[in-house]
Amino acid sequence: MEEHLSYNSSNPLGFCLLPSELIQSILLNLALPEIVGLKLVNKTLATVISDQTFVRECNTRSSSAAWLFVFKKRWSKDAMLMGFTDRSASNRWFKISIAKILEPVVPPGEVFYFLTASGNIFLFACNRDKEVMAVDLMAKTVKKVPPSPLGPRGTSSWRRSGMKLVPGGPPGSGRFRFLFAELVEDRPTLFVYDSETDDWKRMEAEETEGRSRSRGEGLDGRIFLHLVNGPGSNVIISCGSESLSPLVLRPGFSGGGNQGREPNGRLGWDYSANLIHVYGDGHMMIVKSSDGDAARKRTRFLERIEIWGSSEDGRNWEFVSEIPRSLVGQIEKPYGVLMGCLEERGGIIRACLVSNCEGAWDMIWLSYDKARGHWAYVPIPDSKMTGSNLAGISFSTGLNL
Amino acid sequence: MATSRKVTLLSSDGESFEVEQSVAVESITIKDSIEEGSAGNPIPVPKVNSKILAKVIEYCKKHVESAKAEDRVDDEDLVAWDADFVKVDQATLFDLIRAANFLNIKSLLDLTCQTVADMIKGKTPEEKRKTFTIRNDFTPEEEEEVRRENQWAFE
């Protein structure tokens, strides 16, 4: 028989009696929102979690973590930011409360769209007033980003532009830079906002055609903003994270050794309407779906998925990898991909493919590790978004305490 | 097969356990003291009583055996065995964590910590208190303060 079964409240079971390093070892298995949630349990745990060394360790793990954030809305009230991480610790969606932070600053009836996030900073576009708000989750502040040199922009304009939010200082400092790309009089132009100086810089990107590359100028560590995305025409601005020097990349499928051959022809040369393209960070994911059989005509199924990346000189799309058939088989459910988002960070490409089947949203997270050549499928639990609108989706790093 | 060396471990409550050296050195603490030549005979294991030491030895035996097995034990089988191994009452689980930490057996420490983490996941603060029989020692004002400071994490 077991001893120690007396749940006498004056003799609490050992959890809080464990040495704090052991409590911390246990907590490090949890996702950050869960760890912070434990602060409410009792004072011992609140103290253990506030310990500086532990906080540093949490932050280190968090900044290399991958999170998917989704903003769901049912009418203009009832908007909810949700986050999911692929770390085995969780496997559920976490609700991120932003309403209280936004309320004081934003007029009632304003409609938001979630643009992008990085660390603790989350950017929202306000549809009515055509403003951009930067929410700092930890500082609980909202900063209005002044209009760019292009003037106030509505949500649909923002959704068209390639954009990126990057840290502008040490993690947790609240400093950030917001970059986006737009065609101004047909010329690819880079716009950069710096929260430190609270103003915008505007730089026309330099064409790479015929330009000789200086030694050591590769594409690593550069930021990519996808500007024009369409079959036969892709324009990307690539810039450095510190010294911008924006360049124009125009990758295409002309010539080169990448020619597909039927029937295993690469999807890159398939111009049929059955394809969805998802772009991000200098890469493109091509998704081919096929119709179900005659009885299930209205459902579609994933058939093939390929990843392509821009060549170093920005002239060609280069084939990176195709998802193994066995993995496609694992994602068995009917799946009509509508759209998605893609990021590349630390040599890992992550894509979220979103489908909506009769009002029910579904999301698939796929990862490809370039160095190991390894694909992974991360099942995402039901987001319980049926009947809601998806008002923005983006990958990001974890939060910083 | 060569005769494997055996060592004797002595629990804090005076019980002796004879084990293969290969099993005992799953504990880095024991391994170091044997290599340094500082291990007595029997090797005393303070802070770990016989009930827990028996469990720890059971764990180490299983893991050493499955690493050695000629027909490799299925990873899945070992994972299932581990899952059964940690189906113990909370007090035993915490004692195992302490023992794994003291004896420096990383895989056992990881396993037991993950098990406790799994008990925490997905619960409200009140449910967590109930699971571990923890008393809420915050005043309502203090609780409100914690919620406010970490607003984003609480609805």
What digits encode the pLDDT tens for the residues A74-83? Answer: 665 667 899 9
Asked whether the beta carbons of A210 and A202 are under 8 A apart, the reply is no
Give the least confident one: A44-53, A359-368, B62-71. Answer: B62-71
- A92/B contact by beta carbon, under 8 A: yes
Q: pLDDT at position A254, please?
A: 66
- A5/B contact by beta carbon, under 8 A: yes
- B150/A contact by beta carbon, under 8 A: yes
User: Which among B127, B139, B152, B155 is the top mutation candidate for probing chain A, defined by the most A β-carbons within 10 Å of its own β-carbon?
Assistant: B152
Of A13, A22, A98, nearest to B132 by CB-CB distance is A13
User: For the segment A221-279, what is each residue's pLDDT rounded down to a tens digit?
Assistant: 789 999 888 777 888 899 988 888 899 999 888 654 444 433 356 777 776 667 888 99
Asked whether the beta carbons of A83 and A101 are under 8 A apart, the reply is no
Q: Structural domain boundaries of chain A?
A: 12-62, 63-396
Answer yes or no: do A22 and B101 touch at CB < 8 A. Answer: yes
Q: List CB contacts (< 8 A) between B90 and chain A.
A: 4, 13-15
Q: pLDDT at position A23, please?
A: 94
Answer yes or no: do A39 and B109 touch at CB < 8 A. Answer: no
CATH class of A63-396: mainly beta
CA B3 to chain A, closest CA, distance in angstroms equals 37
For residues A90 and A94, give the distance between their C-alpha atoms in angstroms, rounded to a whole number: 9
- B104/A contact by beta carbon, under 8 A: no
Question: In chain B, what is the straight-line distance between the N-terminal and C-terminal CA atoms, in Å?
Answer: 63
Of B89, B101, B109, nearest to A4 by CB-CB distance is B89
Edge to edge, the sheet with strand A233-239 lists A206-207, A247-249, A233-239, A223-230
A303 pLDDT more than 50: yes
Mean of pLDDT values over A112-122: 93
User: For the segment A7-53, what is each residue's pLDDT rounded down to a tens digit?
Assistant: 333 334 578 889 999 999 999 999 999 999 999 998 999 999 999 99
User: For the segment A338-353, what is each residue's pLDDT rounded down to a tens digit?
Assistant: 789 999 998 999 999 9
For residues A270 and A286, give the distance between their C-alpha atoms in angstroms, rounded to a whole number: 10
DSSP A175-195: -EEEEEEEEETTEEEEEEEET
Q: How confident is the model at residue A187 (pLDDT cuts 50, 70, 90)?
A: very high
Asked whether the beta carbons of A72 and A80 are under 8 A apart, the reply is yes
Of B89, B90, B153, nearest to A37 by CB-CB distance is B153
Give the least confident one: A157-161, A162-166, A207-211, B95-99. Answer: A207-211
Strand ranges, E, within B11-103: 16-20, 43-44
Of A2, A7, A41, nearest to B125 by CB-CB distance is A41
